[in-house]
Chain A
Amino acid sequence: MKVLMFGWEFPPHITGGLGTACFGLTKGLAKHGVEVIFVVPKSFGDESQDGFRLINASDIELDFTQTLTQEFREKISYMEVGSNLVPYLDPEEFERWYSEEVAGKKSETHSIFSRKYQFSGKYGANLMEEVSRYALVALSVANNFEYDVIHAHDWLTYAAGIAAKKISGKPLIVHVHATEFDRSGENVNKVVYDIERNGMEEADRVITVSNFTRQIVIERYGIPAEKVFTVHNAVEPVDKPEADDVTKHVREKIVTFLGRVTYQKGPDYFVEAAHKVLQRDPNVRFVMAGSGDLLNRMIRRVAQLKMGTRFHFTGFLAGAEVDRMFAMSDVYVMPSVSEPFGISPLEAMRTNVPVVISKQSGVAEVLQHALKVDFWDIDALADAIYGILHYDGLRKMFARYGKSEVDSLIWENAALKVLDVYNNATGH
């Protein structure tokens, strides 16, 4: 089995969940003997003439958290396609990002593709334009290699997947990591929605990261249930050095929210629940780590509820700061309104932090040793937080079972399910 995969990010530079998931899945597939041509968009301002370049797996730089096995090196071909598509941005954000990052370096990137492709000679200034351009570059990749199945991750690559399918006649699998409904609630961007739906319709099989997302794909995109399969995400087992050197400078227990402060993540429910807990037990501190468009509203609300001395905002945290935040926490809360999967509770559990997660998250489907509440049920959320802080049995149980539960969610198993979908699609 050989797969042409349109993914995102590759070591050493992985910035987010989508990249981590693609990389983990690819490694898992390699373990089962699946060959993968891994194609990613990358803005490289150098000499490549073809619009894409093949990179030897042995040239991939690694940082200490990533280990590559021998079979991985043998099975994976890694390819970068010149494009400034980046994950995690919506069309408006892309435009802003483009004007700041790319337009400023116009002279450097100018004319890279002008010889072969009939473009304006630079990366698309508009996200939709770039999506189509990426698809065209992908087409030439698709034409130059042999493979049995095409696998595209999230909507920005669906067009590339469809193009590859058209030229090769091979089955297309689209992998839904998030939908427009998760990102925008009910105010969906129609253009994005249409691309998503078109991708799912053109695909032979659709993989969703949870049953929660599967339901959205079936109900909101009208995709027939029999071609939608759930493969829950997994996590990379990492043996991070224990963060012993973290000193907590406050005596009180710490309850943490960590993530983008946006509608999707439900920060307002966290604030309201904090208020309820503090009314009964003032010896708790709440931390909201992250930034986003709701941040100012949250700060105002905290002030309004007069709990400023007990509720803290850290702003955006990255890397080691995140680890330190987890190490200081006594409870981790993810009250997401809509979360296709949600990897952060697993990271918390790996550091033995008990978690409260919303039932509207994909990760709730795979976790037993977590407290689950409806995101809107502030009473239940507050009660769960209070319970962990006050009843020792919970902490003991989570410490005993939580970490091992997370460690059992490995990509090798998830990859096996993906392989089933491939076989199913190719008629093997």
Chain B
Amino acid sequence: MRSVCLYFQVHQPYRLRTYRFFNIGHDHYYYDDYQNRHIIRRVAEKCYLPANRMMLQLINEFGKAFKVSYSISGTALDQFAQYVPEVIDSFRQLAATGCVEFISETEYHSLASLGNEQEFIRQIESQRKRIETLFGQTPQTFRNSELIYSDSIGETIANLGFHTILTEGAKHILGWKSPNYIYCNNLNPKLRVLLRNFRLSDDISFRFSEQRWSEWPLTAEKFVGWLNAIDPHEEVVNLYMDYETIGEHQWKETGIFDFFYHLPAAVFSKSNFNFATPEELYQRLQPMGALSVPYAISWADEERDLTAWKGNELQAEAFSKLYSLSDSIAKCDDPVIRRDWGYLQSSNHFYYMSTKWFSAGEVHKHFNPYGSPYDAFINYMNAISDFTIRIEASLSAINAGAGPDDDKPARKAGKKTSAVKIKAVKKTVKSAVKAKKTMASEKVKKEAKLKAAEKPKKTPKTVSAAKKA
């Protein structure tokens, strides 16, 4: 029995708002709430919800025979929770059928695998926990952002206890080999490597509605004909694509829902293929050999390399600036800073800075909120500049907090005022301001008054000292 392995990527980044340089240092909110809410709701309506309904229906129809797998990025999960929680419910319904495998990735759909290994590992661990909590299964399969993979990335993943990783069946690494087998990692043979069949996957995700394509219109029957044409010894066809293919990239009017709806029936009745999840493939199939990938590959563009995210000077600078913060972040436990650190890592921010599309593909423009890669870069760098200031401030606050233990007077604060006091006063002032703003309950007011009363006269003096510091 041969298998079709259907895997869908679900991801939405937190797009940044227009963040000017004069916001740096005092305005710490970076996200375009309106756009993010608008997009996630639109895609939920056009894709996630109806597609999930369809998948559920197919699973019910074919008993346990129809299988599908997903990876949902943490930034998508956050936005679902924030704007369209019913999407999470519908994925949970799918999880409950037992026919759906949830795959792990980096929490923020980041490029941490190329930037900082500790961060990479941290994000994988937290994403794995999220999947466990939400869907009741512990992911054993991993897919890196943009299917980025190399021997050493695979080794890291194996060490984290995953048994399978997904990546691109890039021609230049396969050579004469076929993507339609299972391979193993070159450094750690325990890790299985599944390869995307890019031709058949892209027939659906890119070419489906292309009327100039000689194969248009593509029907489930025709597609199954292509599956049957595959060498009978080959074991698996990995169809990996963005979930947004169904209903967003390919509109409903193109017939994409009908295609997927009729695919299982056509596969079962007209071929010797079944559907399988990566987990089942791992259980059932033996690897054909090790695959050597010394340099990282991805599923992007003709080159299948990293140049869409790390191809020019803009991306290089933004990337190095971002990951130069890794060490400072490790010492920082402010949850808001940690959240922003994650959201700023989404690979999309770097993709927007790519200049590759100047000459080629209009395809990418459609998903780009910026007029030009230069605009994307400036906006991102402004946000990162502010973020850097915040981390520094937070760290110096932590260091200052450690002051009395070390029994060192805070030199900069001067005038005998210890840093601890400044911190305390700062807090007081902050809470007082907050209280003023809310004015909701008497209690808050009283508290604020009480707190203010604690150090009534010192406040102005120490605050100015703090400012100087």
Contacts and interface: CB of A to CB of B under 8 A. Distances in A.
Interface in A379-423: 379-380, 382-384, 386-387, 390-394, 396-397, 400-401
Nearest to A398: B374
B387 to A, nearest CB: 14
Nearest to B24: A280
A371 B374 CA distance: 7
Contact of B317 (A276, A382, A393): A393
Interface of B: 20-22, 24, 312-318, 355, 358, 371-372, 374-375, 377-378, 381-382, 385
Contact of A387 (B22, B315, B377): B377
14 contacts: A279-B22, A372-B371, A382-B20, A382-B21, A383-B20, A383-B21, A384-B378, A390-B385, A391-B378, A392-B313, A393-B316, A393-B318, A394-B314, A397-B314
Contact of B22 (A276, A394, A401): A276
Contacts of B377: 387, 391, 393-394
- Counting chain B CB atoms within 10 Å of each CB, the highest count among A382, A384, A397 belongs to A397
A396 B374 CA distance: 12
Contacts of A400: 313
Interface string A115-151: 0000000000000000000000000000000000000
Interface in A167-185: none
A397 B358 CA distance: 13
Interface of A: 276, 279-280, 368-372, 379-380, 382-384, 386-387, 390-394, 396-397, 400-401
Given A280-B21, A372-B372, A397 B378 contact: no
The prevalent SS among residues of A at the interface is helix
Nearest to A276: B22
A67 B375 CA distance: 39
- Which of B312, B313, B317, B358 has the most CB atoms of chain A within a 10 A radius of its CB? B313
A310 to B, nearest CB: 17
Contacts of A384: 378
Given A371-B375, A379-B20, A393-B313, A387 B381 contact: yes
Given A372-B372, A400-B313, A394 B20 contact: no
A397 B318 contact: no
Contact of B355 (A380, A383, A397): A397
A363 to B, nearest CB: 14
Contacts of B371: 372
Contacts of A276: 22
Contacts of B314: 393-394, 397
B22 A382 contact: yes
B370 to A, nearest CB: 11
A369 B359 CA distance: 12
A276 B21 CA distance: 10
A384 B381 CA distance: 11
A94 B247 CA distance: 63
A252 B318 CA distance: 24
A384 B378 CA distance: 7
The 4 closest A-B pairs by CB, nearest first: A393-B317, A387-B378, A396-B313, A386-B21
A391 B22 contact: no
Contacts of A370: 374
Contacts of B312: 393, 397
Q: Select the residue from B21, B318, B355, B358 with max chain A CB neighbours within 10 A.
A: B21
B316 A383 contact: no
Given A394-B374, A397-B312, A368 B358 contact: yes
B313 A387 contact: no
B17 to A, nearest CB: 13
B382 A387 contact: yes
Nearest to B374: A371
A353 to B, nearest CB: 15
Contacts of A279: 22
B58 to A, nearest CB: 45
B308 to A, nearest CB: 16
A97 B384 CA distance: 55
Contacts of B22: 276, 279-280, 379, 382
A386 B19 CA distance: 12
Nearest to B358: A368
Contacts of A380: 20
B381 A391 contact: yes
B372 A394 contact: no
A76 to B, nearest CB: 35
Contacts of A280: 21-22, 24
Contacts of A392: 313, 317
Contacts of A379: 20, 22
Nearest to B378: A387
Nearest to A371: B374
A384 B372 CA distance: 12
A401 B314 CA distance: 12
A384 B315 CA distance: 17
A393 B377 CA distance: 9
Given A276-B22, A279-B22, A394 B378 contact: yes
Nearest to A397: B313
B354 to A, nearest CB: 12
B28 to A, nearest CB: 16
A400 B314 CA distance: 12
Contacts of B318: 393
Given A370-B374, A372-B371, A382-B22, 16 more contacts: A368-B358, A371-B375, A371-B378, A379-B20, A382-B20, A382-B21, A386-B378, A387-B377, A390-B385, A393-B313, A393-B317, A394-B374, A394-B378, A397-B314, A397-B355, A400-B313
B375 A391 contact: no
A370 to B, nearest CB: 8
B357 to A, nearest CB: 10
A280 B375 CA distance: 20
B213 to A, nearest CB: 29
A400 B378 CA distance: 18
Contacts of B315: 393
B30 to A, nearest CB: 15
A276 B20 CA distance: 11
A387 B378 CA distance: 6
Nearest to B320: A393
A383 B378 contact: yes
Nearest to B372: A372
Contacts of A396: 313, 317
A408 to B, nearest CB: 11
Contacts of B24: 280
Contacts of A382: 20-22
A277 B115 CA distance: 32
A383 B21 CA distance: 6
A401 B372 CA distance: 15
Residue of A370, A372, A380, A394 with most partner-chain B CB within 10 A: A394
Nearest to B315: A393
Nearest to A383: B20
A393 B21 CA distance: 16
